[in-house]
Amino acid sequence: MTPDAVEKLDGFFKTFVQGASPVLLLDYDGTLAPFRVNRYEARPWAGARELLMRIQRQGQTRMAVITGRPAGEIGPLLGLDNRLEVWGLHGAERIYPDGRREMEAAPSGAQQKLDELRERLRANSMGGLFEDKPNAAVMHWRGIPPHRAAAIEKRTRQLFEPLAQIDGLNLLEFEAGLELRVGRDKGGAVEAILAETGCAGPIAFLGDDLTDESAFRSVNAVSGAHLSVLMRHKWRETNANIWLKPPEELKAFLERWLKAVAFKVWID
């Protein structure tokens, strides 16, 4: 960890004082769990689940996962004892801890164009790995040899980019893939949560991918105590305040969160 990261972490956890309402927002894939070719096998890093359960049991932290996956996939993969707030499809979908589910409504013209594209890609995925979501068409090329991946990316861009000009449709770039979608992004999900919590904090968001950058920016815009964390093996250019490497530095972060909350409860 760099001296700058150590200093920022120290400063952040010092804000867990009397009356603080900590908010912990987490991406799933790559952040809480290593990537798997079979996405249904992506279980959390050893030890991470236990730490999250302990944070839940303290009953002091508003914790939520914000993921690109459908929200319903996270509960079974994470396997916590208590149900969790999950924002799925990068924020367009929400599952409350009591199981209620909400889907953001899209402009009908944009949804229609998207549905036509999804139908076309279901019939012919252009050699890539097509993921069909209710609010998005997603093309993946993770694990495909570079020359073939480049050809798939080119064809995908030719198809997606003109459609992204339509009002309500947006292009989302991520590592080894491209998504054409309607609805909020992760930054929009963070802002919706902040609106509910009245911008109280301290607040942290942990993520690894390019799609997490909008969430980093929303967290950075908070006037109170905040920390955006790039959780990733390799450093890259980012809006995040600090960079940590999973799984050891993730676990250390969660342990520190537990202790900071325990201290806050003791003085409250």
Contact between 27 and Mg ion (CB under 5 A)?
A: yes
Q: DSSP class of residue 239?
A: S
Q: Which residue is nearest to Mg ion (CB)?
A: 30
In the complex, least distance from residue 28 CB atom to Mg ion, rounded to whole angstroms? 6
30 or 183: whose CB is closer to Mg ion?
A: 30
Q: Identify the residue among 26, 29, 66, 90 touching Mg ion (CB under 5 A).
A: 29
In the complex, least distance from residue 138 CB atom to Mg ion, rounded to whole angstroms? 13
Going by their DSSP bridges, the two strands 242-244 and 226-231 should be labelled as parallel
What distance lies between CA 186 and its chain's CA centroid? Answer: 6
Going by their DSSP bridges, the two strands 136-140 and 177-181 should be labelled as antiparallel
Answer for the pair 10, 2: CB distance below 8 angstroms, yes or no. no
Q: Identify the residue among 85, 191, 208, 213 touching Mg ion (CB under 5 A).
A: 208
179 or 209: whose CB is closer to Mg ion?
A: 209
In the complex, least distance from residue 239 CB atom to Mg ion, rounded to whole angstroms? 15
Answer for the pair 15, 202: CB distance below 8 angstroms, yes or no. yes
In the complex, least distance from residue 242 CB atom to Mg ion, rounded to whole angstroms? 17
Among residues 89, 96, 73, the alpha carbon closest in space to that of 133 is found at 89
27 or 185: whose CB is closer to Mg ion?
A: 27
Instruction: Please work out the total of residues on this chain that contact Mg ion, with binding judged by CB under 5 A.
Output: 5
Q: Which stretch binds Mg ion (CB under 5 A): 5-13, 101-109, 120-128, 206-214?
A: 206-214
Q: Which stretch binds Mg ion (CB under 5 A): 7-15, 29-37, 124-132, 157-165?
A: 29-37
H, E, C per residue of 105-123: CCCHHHHHHHHHHHHHHHH
Q: Identify the residue among 209, 243, 246, 253 touching Mg ion (CB under 5 A).
A: 209
Going by their DSSP bridges, the two strands 203-207 and 177-181 should be labelled as unpaired
Q: Which stretch binds Mg ion (CB under 5 A): 19-27, 47-55, 73-81, 237-245?
A: 19-27
209 or 213: whose CB is closer to Mg ion?
A: 209
Going by their DSSP bridges, the two strands 136-140 and 170-174 should be labelled as unpaired
Q: Identify the residue among 22, 30, 177, 188 touching Mg ion (CB under 5 A).
A: 30
Contact between 179 and Mg ion (CB under 5 A)?
A: no
Answer for the pair 241, 8: CB distance below 8 angstroms, yes or no. yes
In the complex, least distance from residue 29 CB atom to Mg ion, rounded to whole angstroms? 4
Q: DSSP class of residue 19?
A: T
Contact between 213 and Mg ion (CB under 5 A)?
A: no
Q: What's the CA gap between 130 and 229, in Å, rounded?
A: 29
Q: DSSP class of residue 43?
A: P
Residues making contact with Mg ion (CB under 5 A): 27, 29-30, 208-209
